[in-house]
A = this chain, B = another copy of it.
Amino acid sequence: MNPFIGSASLVLYFVTRCQASGTDIALDAKATLLHRIDSLNLLIYTCLLTLTVLTIWVFKHRRVSWLHETGLAVIYGLIVGAIIRYAGSTNQVTYIDAHPDANSNYNLSVPPDIVRFHFPDKQMSSGDVPVPNKTYAYSFRGEIVNVEQNEIDLKATFDPEIFFNIILPPIIFHAGYCLKRKYFFRNLGAILTFAMVGTALSALVIGSLMYGCVQLMPASLAASFTFLDTLYFGALISPTDPLTVLAIFSQLKVDVNLYAMIFGESVLNDAVALVLSGAIQNYEKRYSVDGGFEITAFLAAIGDFIGIFSLSLLVGALIGCLTALMTKFTHVRDWPLLESALFVLTSYAAFLIAEVFELTGVVAVLFCGICQAHYTYNNLSADSRNRTKQLFELLNFLAENFIFTYIGVSMFTFPKHHFDPWFIIAGFLTSMLGRAVNIYPLSFLLNLGRKPPIPMNFQHMLFFAGLRGAMSFALAIRNTVSEARQAMLTTTSLIVIATVVLQGGAATHALAYLRIPTGQGQNDENEALPYRDVRSLYQSTETSRPDTPHGGGDGGGEKARLARLWGAVDSKLLKPLLTHARPPLTETLPSFLRPLGRILTTTRQYTQSENSLRRTDSDSDLCIDEPQPVPTTIDPQQLWPGLVDTRISVEGITGSNI
């Protein structure tokens, strides 16, 4: 549960005193102390991030490329975590055992939300009739499994659910918003195969192998892991997070298709892994309750996976399209602040709506981001484009570095770690194997139908880019109730740290060793901004290429037909409907729908020049960094005398704009 919302739900307005007494003062002091500790914890992370920013500046200034900012954040986190662990004082939580009132008429089987706790109770000192002194409200936190274990402390840790509700959404939205859709769609077959089939395959392989490994280990360990546990581990360790590698790709201007495959896969496999792990947990729940047919529960889990994934996708996409419509048919673009606020609010609403309907908000936000970039972005004013891009870039930067700092710090301060060397070694080996199973066999299959096949050195690079990151950690720390889960968290943390620091650091050498060509393209301006300058390189080398996607043939004729169909629907129906792009609906809709088409077409769509039309069709909307072509003011009557009706006068004043 979101801690922000979590507290909101339990809004109880007692607090503080009417008339101050000794206990009240002590309580006040305690509340103040807690608030100060909270602020101090946040301050630690703020300072760590500031330090990371400054160090990264020095590294960039000195052109050090063997350590990415996320790796640095992890390392600083580890150092500070160790200091807090071994030098900090302990803030022990006080606790007391309590029993329900004997005369209570509470008759539910579920524990209540609030315990009204009478303290100090006369019952304690003497055997008299209980005379409660004061009544305090206590709200439900969860079950205590190990009653003996009292080591609950307050050292720089957060509720794990903040990752799913606060940290991951902006990261995932930003990934969707800055996805280079042209290269993404060109390599869609490969990306989908790696992300959907590959992640499931990898989870299955890692899960099975881990289960085998665990059985070979000391009996105590073997007993604590079920197959579902190891399968869950497989699901959570499968998504990749190759931030470091991509930053280096961007810096060294590596082949754009390779870039698109690695980035696209990492974006989608986060979503797949999240839904997959949810389905495994649901399966566990169903199976253990019914105790019945395993196959039914298994099918239900697959149904869960498909249903939740596609419905979340749908919610995100619909909200994205709705925003596109709102920005197209209103002139809110004249007030960029309002427009940006609208953009942020609807994107956040996509997350919330999915959560309200028990879908996966993170997945909805991803596809909302993609739609916002594909449609809405084209309708925005220059100011809003800039503002939203910069806003999410900043949020993404802060959220990413926060999570990696937290991975470092929590290695020492999180109380629920369980170091099991066998499990850790097995985890490292199987996660590598899982990545190999994801890449090599699937690449072989893809190459059977793919026109320009994925060369062997690209496959090695895809394997090498299998860094693990934020999503794996967030899933691992979500549930640390059993020893098995704690061992998984420890292993996951170590894998993330090792891959981010070591693999990330070696990425430049790997590129050189695999002889992957770098330095394509020439503009150096944006080198500090990841994902940005890859586009220009592609443009400079491929401007003469015809429009048909050359990588669209993967997976045989059926998929290519589907891709072509989607392309046609997108450019002839969705684009003209949701943006100001040409051709207007009046040209593409069947004749009996033309009146409707005329209502849904704006003045700007008619008045767009042929030049900007071509740009829209080929490149301009596919990379959000492209400056929007300035519409030239050609008299619409000259160009399409038949289509322009009387509503059209000056751009932006009348027409079908509300």
Closest CB of chain B to A244's CB: distance in Å? 16
Given contacts A6-B7, A356-B36, contact A57 B394 (CB under 8 A): no
Asked if A456 is at the interface (CB within 8 A of a chain B CB), the reply is: no
Asked if A95 is at the interface (CB within 8 A of a chain B CB), the reply is: yes
Q: Which residues of B contact A94 (CB under 8 A)?
A: 106, 108, 110, 112-114
For residues 520 through 547 of chain A, which have their beta carbon under 8 Å from a beta carbon of chain B? 528-529
Residue from the list B137, B285, B344 in contact with A28, Cβ < 8 A: B285
Asked if A481 is at the interface (CB within 8 A of a chain B CB), the reply is: yes
Q: Which residues of B contact A335 (CB under 8 A)?
A: 57, 60, 528
Rounded to whole angstroms, the CA-CA distance of A263 and B42 in the bound complex is 32
Asked if A93 is at the interface (CB within 8 A of a chain B CB), the reply is: yes
Q: Which residues of B contact A356 (CB under 8 A)?
A: 36, 39-40, 43
Rounded to whole angstroms, the CA-CA distance of A608 and B138 in the bound complex is 63
1/0 per residue, CB under 8 A from B, across A576-617: the answer is 000000000000000000000000000000000000000000
Asked whether, in the complex, the Cβ of B152 is within 8 Å of the Cβ of A143, the reply is: no
Asked whether, in the complex, the Cβ of B100 is within 8 Å of the Cβ of A285, the reply is: no
Asked whether, in the complex, the Cβ of B13 is within 8 Å of the Cβ of A416, the reply is: yes
Rounded to whole angstroms, the CA-CA distance of A252 and B343 in the bound complex is 29
Asked whether, in the complex, the Cβ of A136 is within 8 Å of the Cβ of B140, the reply is: yes
Closest chain B residue, CB of each to CB of A401: B341
Q: Which residues of B contact A391 (CB under 8 A)?
A: 387, 390-391, 394
Closest CB of chain B to A515's CB: distance in Å? 30
Q: Which residues of B contact A37 (CB under 8 A)?
A: 9
Asked if A349 is at the interface (CB within 8 A of a chain B CB), the reply is: yes
Given contacts A119-B111, A356-B39, contact A397 B341 (CB under 8 A): yes
Asked whether, in the complex, the Cβ of B14 is within 8 Å of the Cβ of A394, the reply is: no
Rounded to whole angstroms, the CA-CA distance of A228 and B154 in the bound complex is 36
Residue from the list B57, B61, B99, B121 in contact with A130, Cβ < 8 A: B99
Closest CB of chain B to A320's CB: distance in Å? 14
Given contacts A7-B159, A334-B528, A342-B54, contact A142 B152 (CB under 8 A): no
Asked if A565 is at the interface (CB within 8 A of a chain B CB), the reply is: no
Closest chain B residue, CB of each to CB of A20: B288
Q: Which residues of B contact A134 (CB under 8 A)?
A: 111, 143
Asked if A331 is at the interface (CB within 8 A of a chain B CB), the reply is: yes
Specify how many copies of this chain sit in the oligomer: 2
Asked if A219 is at the interface (CB within 8 A of a chain B CB), the reply is: no
Residue from the list B25, B284, B336 in contact with A20, Cβ < 8 A: B284
Asked whether, in the complex, the Cβ of A31 is within 8 Å of the Cβ of B1, the reply is: yes
Asked if A482 is at the interface (CB within 8 A of a chain B CB), the reply is: yes
Asked whether, in the complex, the Cβ of B529 is within 8 Å of the Cβ of A111, the reply is: no
Asked if A295 is at the interface (CB within 8 A of a chain B CB), the reply is: no
Q: Which residues of B contact A10 (CB under 8 A)?
A: 141, 154
Rounded to whole angstroms, the CA-CA distance of A342 and B57 in the bound complex is 10
Residue among A56, A57, A101, A344 with max Cβ neighbours from chain B (10 Å): A57
Asked whether, in the complex, the Cβ of B331 is within 8 Å of the Cβ of A38, the reply is: no
Residue from the list B61, B135, B140 in contact with A331, Cβ < 8 A: B61
Residue from the list B3, B20, B132 in contact with A3, Cβ < 8 A: B3
Asked whether, in the complex, the Cβ of A54 is within 8 Å of the Cβ of B326, the reply is: yes
Residue among A36, A50, A391, A529 with max Cβ neighbours from chain B (10 Å): A50
A-B contacts besides A11-B154, A344-B398, 19 pairs, CB < 8 Å: A6-B38, A11-B157, A12-B142, A12-B152, A14-B145, A16-B481, A23-B111, A27-B111, A49-B345, A50-B342, A50-B345, A94-B113, A95-B114, A97-B115, A99-B101, A116-B147, A335-B528, A340-B390, A387-B390
Q: Show 9 A/B contacts (Cβ-Cβ < 8 Å), sorted by A.
A: A14-B142, A16-B143, A20-B288, A22-B109, A96-B104, A99-B118, A134-B143, A137-B142, A138-B140
